[in-house]
Amino acid sequence: MIYQVYVRSFLDSTGDGIGDLAGVRAGLPYLKKLGVDGIWLSPFYPSPQHDHGYDVADYCDVDPLFGDLDEFDLLVGAARRLGIKVLLDIVPNHCSSEHPWFREALAAPPGSPARARFHFADGRGPDDAEPPNNWHSMFGGPAWSRVTEPDGRPGQWYLHMFAPEQPDWNWRNPEIAAEFERILRFWLGRGIDGFRIDVAAGLFKHPELPDSDDPEADARTRDSVNPLAWNQPEVHDVWRRWRSICEEYTERDGCERLLVGEVSVPTAREHAQYVRPDELHQAFFFDLLSAPWDPDAFQKVISEAMQDIAGTGSTVTWVLNNHDQVRTVTRYGEPATEGSGLGAARARAAALLMLALPGAAYIYQGEELGLPEVVDLPDDVLTDPIFRRTGSRARIRDGCRVPLPWSGQASPFGFTSGEESAKPWLPQPEYFAEYATDRALADTRSFWHLYRDGLQLRAALPQLGEGTLRWLDSPPGVLAFERGDDLVCAVNFGTAPTPAPVSGTPLLASGPCPPGVLSGSTAAWWIRS
């Protein structure tokens, strides 16, 4: 079980209102108590922060906002002493427009080797005024921006599948592969345990960059559905190479390294190709996260994953929340300002379901506190480039990135701790007081205790974690499955109680469950006697 740390919102040690690496180090004992196996750190590299660090200007350093390399080494050392693995977020599809190689490309003429590291192309139509093709950016608007040539004239266009400040690398140029090997070795040499790979179905584009039949597909769904821009076969060679680099390090010191990809592809079968034995160890399976609160929808995605991914011998990697998605408590139907309603009950049930499934699980900071999405942030504090580019609040991601509440009754809730603390970089609502970690730890009915208890059992019981599942017959509205020979997990998606599939008191339940009863919007685990 890996815990995603969104560094700028975890804990601020310097009082500037932005979380940092020293803050993460200070929070490690909290994470140890929760029972995490490892942490994934969101990007902390030098960056102009147009997309909160997913626009990397230097892949081998720490942005002063978050600390420095010495602080990074201290964090890795402290995590190792606590037995917590550390994964970094690597961003190989694109860099920042401030990256020295992109600046060099802007200063160089069309056709130069410096431009060949990116996708530069001439425009179409009179005066080359139209982009080279009709692709859309994932963040809205065209996927191309036009540059001004060094002589001051309007010039070529460059491709960016995300914001214009995030030019896409040209992975058909071997120099890029070599540079990323250097970057991998830089961090592996500093003792990290692996990487979360951003946009792992990206990197390569169709070699001719032709027009798409459905140019708005990407902007519409945020799924990777422009088959010319994503999921090209060549990308698998990169993951094979990265896997072999990881194995080199393992051979040297006996410690396994982990590659987990952010893989958005249309089907579980295509997804499975990314986790073949010589490619990535894990790839987030987002279909569970996208499923509505409905037993048939959940059963369908779980069955597909078991058949098409686990069926090939790979691990399924489950996730319900991350820094790009509306938090479960809100997604499953919670009014944003209430903490104990239906959305919360369902989010608790979903957590127990996920922790009972065969495979790996990732949780996103604040999920263990049951934090709701902050839905009423005013426009002038929003930072998501999607908002800037589309003007739409529909898909904005700031609401799940609000800094964590740690203690106290008022913002900053212990998040920032300098002498003269600045305000948290996004405002925390007053109701965050009831979610603060100190309250969560003190209340055995909290989300935190549910996650902690679930993780403890997951670590202790051989039935959980790796393995298979067997669906059990269950009444309408209920999903039930067995792990090993005797562990039963059942989830009641309805609101009315139903008979429990196993008599006796559950081992763990997401809500009150009298013996023999599975309450509405509740999940429970039992050991059959």
Where do contacts with ligand NOJ occur on this chain (CB under 6 A)? 51, 54, 91, 162, 198-199, 262, 323-324
Q: Which of 290, 295, 423 is nearest to 353 (CA)?
A: 295
Which token pair is 15?
A: 């009082």
Nearby residues of 39 by Cβ (< 8 Å), 6 or more positions away: 2, 3, 4, 5, 24, 31, 79, 84, 85, 86, 87
Q: How far is the CB of 51 from ligand NOJ (least distance, A)?
A: 5
Contact predicate 15/420, CB 8 Å:
yes
- The residue with its CB nearest to ligand NOJ is 54
Cβ proximity to ligand NOJ: between 336 and 386 the closer is 386
Alpha helices, DSSP H, located in 332-485 = 342-356, 385-390, 437-442, 447-460
Q: Counting beta carbons within 10 angstroms of the beta carbon of residue 379, is it exposed (0 to 12), middle (13 to 18) or buried (19 or more)?
A: exposed
Cβ proximity to ligand NOJ: between 331 and 458 the closer is 331
Contact predicate 488/526, CB 8 Å:
yes
The verdict on whether 248 is a catalytic residue reads: yes
Indicate which residue of 213, 216, 247, 248 is catalytic.
Answer: 248
The DSSP element (H or E) to which 144 belongs, if any, is strand 144-148
Q: How far is the CB of 14 from ligand NOJ (least distance, A)?
A: 24
Q: How far is the CB of 495 from ligand NOJ (least distance, A)?
A: 33
The verdict on whether 122 is a catalytic residue reads: no
CA pair distance 77, 70, nearest whole angstrom: 11
Sign of CA dihedral 377, 383, 386, 387: positive
Three-state SS for 40-77 is EECCCCCCCCCCCCCCCCCCCCCCCCCCCHHHHHHHHH
Residue 163: how many other CB atoms lie within 10 Å: 24
Peptide bond into 412 cis (omega under 30): yes
For residues 247-262, one letter each, b for 16 or more C-beta atoms within 10 angstroms of the residue's C-beta and e for the rest, the string is: eebeeeeeeebbbbbb
Contact predicate 152/107, CB 8 Å:
no
Q: How far is the CB of 397 from ligand NOJ (least distance, A)?
A: 7
CA pair distance 368, 321, nearest whole angstrom: 11
Q: How far is the CB of 163 from ligand NOJ (least distance, A)?
A: 8
Contact predicate 195/184, CB 8 Å:
yes
Q: How far is the CB of 479 from ligand NOJ (least distance, A)?
A: 29
Q: How far is the CB of 455 from ligand NOJ (least distance, A)?
A: 24
Indicate which residue of 12, 51, 71, 198 is catalytic.
Answer: 198
CA pair distance 27, 7, nearest whole angstrom: 11
Q: Which residues are catalytic?
A: 198, 248
